[in-house]
Homo-oligomer: A and B are copies of this chain.
Amino acid sequence: MTAPIDFALQCPIPISDYPQVLLAHGGGGRLTQMLIERMFAPTFANPALGMLHDGAILTVNGGRLAFSTDTYVISPRFFPGGDIGSLAVHGTVNDLAMCGAQPLALSVGMILEEGLAMAELWQVVRSLQAAAQAVGVPVVTGDTKVVDRGKGDGLYINTAGLGLVPAGVSISPQRAQPGDVVLISGSIAEHGIAIMSVREGLEFETAILSDSAPLHDLVAAMLAAGGEGVHVLRDPTRGGVASVVNEIAQQAQVGIRLVEKDIPVREDVAGACEILGFDPLYVANEGKCLAIVAPEAAEVVLAAMRAHPRGQGAAVIGHVVADHPGRVFLRSRVGGLRVVDMLSGEQLPRIC
C-alpha cells in the first residue's frame, strides 16, 4: 500500500520542487531547515518544540529536564579520532550540554544490517560504553533491530539523552541580543575534514583527527563563570559554524558579524579545506561549542574556556548587532564584508 495521492496536495514542502527526499534534506543546511520549519515544527507544534533548540526543556516535579535525540549514520564508521559508537555518545551529550544541562542517562537504539561482522558490532558497543563511562552517564535502556541485507549500511545508532538543567541557567537562541559577544571553544572544521580525508583517500603530513569529544564539563565551567550572562550555546555540527549562527540570527531576529581572521582554523585543516574545495565555516565539528554571551560576561567566560582542556583554543570570533536582523556578515581578511549564508545543498552527506 502506498500513500493516497491527496496527501501530496497538502504537503507543506512544494512537491513540484521536491518530489523526493534529497541527501541535502539531511545536510543541516537550507533544505533541512525547510523540512523542520515547514513540515515538522507546524505539525508537532507545542511549547517545548517551539524553541527549536538542540533539545527540549521540560519541567517535571519542579525541576527542569533536557531531552534530546540524535541519529548517527556516519560513513565510514571508524575514522581518525573516533567511531560511530563514541560519536553517538558525544553528540547527544553535547546536545544536552547546549541546553545548559548536565547529562543523566542515555538510551541507545541500533539498526543493524544483516551481515554486519559481529566483531565490528562488539567494537562499536565497547567504544560507545567507554565514551559513556568517560562522561559518567549510564546507558539505561536500548533497542536493537536488524534489517535485511542491502537495506542499511552496516549500523545506524540513535541515542536519546536526559539531562538536568541547574537552577539559574537559561540558555535559548532567543536570548541573543545586540552587543553580545560570539565565542568559539577552539579551532573549527576538524571533524568534517577528518571524515572527508578518509573518504577521499587523502593523506596529510600529520593526520587530521576528528575533534569528537563531550562538552558537558566545559559548559559547566562556562556557566559557573558566566551564569545568566551565557545566553546561547550551540555545537556547530552538520552545516558548521555558518549554519548555526544563521539559525541563531533568524530565531533571535538579530544580526551577527564574524571576523574571519579571529576564527581559529588549524593550518593543515585550512589546507585540506582548500584541496577539497570546502569553506571551513560550513564544515562539521563534534567537539566545539559556540557561545553567545553578554558583553560583561565575555571576559570571564573566555577565561573559563581557556582554562579547560577542551577550550584552550577559545576565541572571540564576532558580535551580535542590531543591524541586518536575521543575517550574518563576515569581515574577511582583506577587509570586505560578505554575507554568510546557510549551507545550501549537500556539502558533506553522512558526516554524523
Residues of A within 8 A of B (CB): 1-5, 7-8, 10-13, 15, 18-27, 32, 35-36, 39-40, 43-44, 46, 48-49, 53, 55-56, 58, 60-63, 65, 67-73, 76, 78-79, 104-105, 107-123, 125-126, 129, 132, 138-148, 150-153, 156, 158, 160, 162, 164, 198, 349-350, 352
Contact = CB atoms under 8 A, between A and B. Distances in A.
B10 A122 contact: yes
Contacts of A119: 3, 5, 7-8, 11, 15, 19
A111 B160 contact: no
Task: Return the 3 tightest CB-CB contacts between A and B, nearest first.
Answer: A26-B146, A160-B160, A56-B140
Given A114-B22, A146-B23, A148-B350, A198 B67 contact: no
Nearest to A50: B140
A62 B60 contact: no
Contacts of A71: 109-111, 143-145, 158
Given A78-B2, A122-B13, A139-B44, A349 B146 contact: yes
Given A105-B58, A148-B350, A79 B15 contact: no
A44 B126 CA distance: 9
A12 B3 CA distance: 43
- Which of A5, A115, A132, A139 has the most chain B CB within a 10 Å cutoff? A139
A345 B25 CA distance: 37
Contacts of A158: 69, 71, 109, 143, 158, 160
B112 A21 contact: yes
Given A60-B65, A61-B62, A107-B67, A147 B153 contact: yes
A78 B4 CA distance: 11
Contacts of A5: 119
Given A2-B78, A71-B111, A112-B26, A21 B105 contact: no
Nearest to A198: B1
Given A113-B21, A117-B20, A147-B153, A107 B69 contact: yes
